[in-house]
A and B are shown apart, each in its own frame.
Chain A
Amino acid sequence: MNQFKAFILKEIYHILRDRKTLLVLLGMPIAQIVLFGFALSNEVKNTSIYFLNQSSEPLAQQLIAKVDQNKYFDVKGYIQDAAEAEVLLRSGKAKVVAIIPSDFAYALAHENETTIQLLTDGADPNTANIINTYFTLITQQFRNEHFGKINLPYQINTNVRMLYNPQLKGEYTFVPGVIAMVLMIICVLMTSVSIVKEKELGNMEMLLVSPTNPLIVIISKAVPYFVISLIIVTIILVMSVVLLHIPIRGSLWLLYFVSSIFILSALSLGLVISTITNSQQVAMLISLMGMMLPTIMFGGFMFPIENMPLPMQIISNIVPAKWFYYAINGIMIKGLGISSLYKEILILLGFCVLFITISFKKFNIRLS
């Protein structure tokens, strides 16, 4: 037992001494939370719009004013002919150009119909769709204001309710993702590299020859990272609740429980990697390219899994982070309990068992 403690202490010293890496480990989740919480958003606001106003009627000006007042749009200027529109859109000065026909008010009054042409920067299809939708909404509002609300017969009204996130805040989906990513780095990357480094330096052999049980060596590497992981999870949660007002609607114990299982599975994954290679560079490569990248891509927190082609959706099932992300999301945002999440928890446990078994087997092979 004393041996165990001695090893753990040694590991802690190693970690604490590498200030730069420690800073990075702390800095990353903090930077991400600040960015995601305050800087990044999918919202479409202040879109630059230019008008080609071919009408001299005051009604057209009123429409333009209304668009400008709206927070979604920012009227940047006017153009005189359609060719300019292309230039503006291409240079990025305008995201959208609206062309108001010369008989705008007249046609509305006498033919009950007029058409505004909307040229939108379609490079990002989603944004384009949203811009088009918002513009349409504004013109409809304008129409209602000037011509009275449409009172059509057989009117179907729809009441819309946004569940879980009525203010449509973007932050909700990313916090568990930040947790997953940082844990992968700490548990997989750092653990595997730390073990492999000892191998590279030759210390591992020395330890194996000593009367120390090799298991102790391995586990003593994992323990400090386990603790650090939990600390960082706590920091992330505190920041999310305090700074971003993200709720934790479910049980905190459940949250930590699930996190611990995930941490264990990531640690054992790190162990597996350390048994495969003797070179730090390779360990880093495998951890980053082989583990982190798939976690980011298929974990479900950056890109929606349901949008992916089928083969990728299948791949996402073998990425532990995906299940973790779903569980944490459920606990935090939806307030789900164990009964709803038993499937995810079992799968994560399964990963744990799988990785631990593999790494032990490989380790024993090495010894014999």
Chain B
Amino acid sequence: MNTLIYILKKEFRQIFRDPAILRMIFMMPALQLLVLPFAADYEIKNINVGIIDHDHSDYSRLLISKIEHSNYFELAAYSQSRAEGLKWVEDNKADILIEIPKNFEKTLIRENSATLALSANAVNGTKGNLGAAYALNVINEFNKNIRAEWLVLPRMNPEPIIQIDYINKFNKLSNYQHFMVPGILAILLTMVGGFLSALNIVKEKEIGTIEQLNVTPIKKYQFILGKLIPFWLMGFIILTIGLIVSYVVHGIVPGPNIGNLYLFTGIYVFAILGFGLLISNFTSTQQQAMMVAFFFMLIFILLSGLFTSIESMPAWAQTLAWTNPVTYMVDVMRKVLLKGAELIDIWPHIKTMIIFGILLNGLAIWTYRKQAL
């Protein structure tokens, strides 16, 4: 036991004296929580609309003004030439083109119907889709107004209509940052636990001090615990700092079930540390460790449901995603912070993570050799 305490003393002293690690520990949360959430905004807004108006009637002007006043759209360009319009899309000046044909107003009144042409830049499929949907909404509203102008509104709808009353839960402001921050916090914990711990051990390998330790009576488990415990504790510190920043900067209130988060985080960081340890067992230079860790981190992050949802993945990918520990952390983080989940909601994840922890750390201890064969 004493040995462990001496080891821990040494580890803490080294960590706090290493400027690179300190910088990372403070820069990473700062960067990730302060900058990233504002950058990682997938919400579709500020859609640039280009109008090609062949009609120049009152109605066309009305339509244009309605689009201008919509929150989703910015009137970016106006012209009478279709070729010019297409060029705007090419140059990314416009995301959506609405072409109003000649005699639009006249045709609408005389023949009871008229047709507009809408083109959407679909390089980004979601943006094109949603942009077109929003534009159609505006056009429909515009259409209703015209009808109201020409017809007397009956007391009842002329034909049966199903109305939908939407209530979006859990995100009162429909704020994208709210959605991203918990996920980013999860990634942060992963990087500290996986990245830094792997680098730390490999550094000793590179310098040679690890050999010195291998010759001493230090047992494997003592050495490993000595490496894991400081970063494990750091995980909690980072979580706390992260929660404070999330509250102050992004207005995410932790809520009464926050203890569950700490419980899960403890188990999660333990598992991820095992993974970092595993990496360090198989790499000999810091450069290698960094590359390998980065490689896995990237795949884990992409498969974690942070940027794209798990439900949208094909079955095989979903299975893969649920063998990825990061997926669980992201899910728990979101559930607790956004939805106020209770212990019973995350209990299955806790069980799974315990298994992960035992598996990864067991593997790491098993493959750590004090002796070279």
Contact = CB atoms under 8 A, between A and B. Distances in A.
Tell whether any CB of A sits under 8 Å from a CB of B in the complex.
yes
A48 B165 CA distance: 19
Interface stretch (A39-47, A205-213, A218-226, A251-259): A39-47
A31 interface: yes
A130 B303 CA distance: 22
Contacts of B45: 307
Given A125-B176, A126-B44, A280-B287, A108 B309 contact: no
Contacts of A108: 160, 162
Given A39-B317, A118-B164, A157 B169 contact: no
Contacts of B355: none
Nearest to B95: A306
Given A123-B339, A158-B116, A90 B345 contact: yes
B27 interface: yes
B27 to A, nearest CB: 6
Nearest to B342: A90
Interface residues on B, range: 35 or more
B15 interface: no
Given A21-B288, A117-B165, A165-B128, A153 B147 contact: yes
A108 B160 CA distance: 6
Q: Which of A36, A117, A154, A157 has the most CB of B within 10 A?
A: A154
A281 B20 contact: yes
Contacts of B129: 130, 162, 168
Contacts of B199: 281
Contacts of A168: 122, 125-126, 128-129
Interface string B15-50: 000001001100110010001101111111110000
A127 to B, nearest CB: 7
B162 A162 contact: no
A172 interface: yes
B113 A157 contact: yes
Contacts of A342: none
Task: Kindly name the residue among B20, B151, B168, B331 whose own CB sees the greatest number of chain A CB atoms within 10 A.
Answer: B168
B365 interface: no
A135 B313 CA distance: 20
A308 B128 CA distance: 18
Interface string A122-136: 111111111011011
B92 to A, nearest CB: 8
A341 to B, nearest CB: 10
A234 interface: no
A125 B335 contact: no
Given A135-B164, A143-B162, A112 B171 contact: no
Contacts of A25: 291
B308 to A, nearest CB: 4
A281 to B, nearest CB: 5
Interface string A258-288: 0000000000000000000001111011001
Interface stretch (B136-144, B210-218, B239-247): B136-144
Interface in B128-163: 128-130, 132-133, 135-136, 139-140, 142-143, 146-147, 150-151, 156-163
B115 interface: yes
Interface string A3-19: 00000000000000010
A124 B122 contact: no
Contacts of B139: 156, 158
Contact of A165 (B123, B166, B174): B123
Interface stretch (A237-245, A332-340, A355-363): A332-340
B122 A193 contact: no
Contacts of B340: 90
Contact of A155 (B136, B143, B174, B339): B143
B209 interface: no
A245 to B, nearest CB: 15
Contact of B123 (A43, A158, A289, A334): A334
A297 B341 CA distance: 30
Contacts of A129: 44, 130
Contacts of A127: 309
B89 to A, nearest CB: 6
Contact of B156 (A112, A135, A154): A112
Contacts of A115: 162-165
A152 B140 CA distance: 12
A66 to B, nearest CB: 12
A20 interface: yes
Given A20-B292, A28-B298, A334-B90, A169 B125 contact: yes
Most buried by A among B46, B156, B291: B291
Interface in A286-334: 288-289, 293, 297-298, 302-304, 306-309, 312, 326, 329-330, 333-334
B38 A308 contact: yes
A132 B166 contact: yes
Contacts of B208: none
Contact of B295 (A24, A128, A133): A24
B2 interface: no
Chain B CB within 10 Å — which of A47, A123, A197 has the most? A123
A124 B120 contact: no
Contact of B157 (A35, A109, A113): A113
A124 B20 contact: no
A306 B46 contact: yes
B5 interface: no
A172 B130 CA distance: 17
A188 to B, nearest CB: 13
A94 B208 CA distance: 54
A360 B120 CA distance: 47
A91 B171 contact: no
A20 B126 contact: no
A64 B125 CA distance: 28
Given A91-B345, A109-B160, A154-B113, A39 B303 contact: yes
B124 A173 contact: yes
Contacts of A164: 121-123
A132 B164 contact: yes
The 10 closest A-B pairs by CB, nearest first: A122-B168, A39-B317, A168-B125, A162-B122, A165-B122, A112-B157, A125-B174, A122-B171, A307-B41, A155-B113
Given A91-B335, A153-B150, A160-B118, 10 more contacts: A28-B295, A121-B169, A123-B338, A125-B174, A126-B176, A132-B166, A139-B164, A147-B160, A155-B143, A285-B24
19 contacts: A21-B288, A24-B291, A45-B312, A91-B345, A95-B311, A115-B165, A117-B164, A123-B170, A126-B176, A156-B113, A158-B115, A173-B124, A285-B20, A288-B290, A307-B42, A308-B39, A312-B35, A312-B38, A334-B90
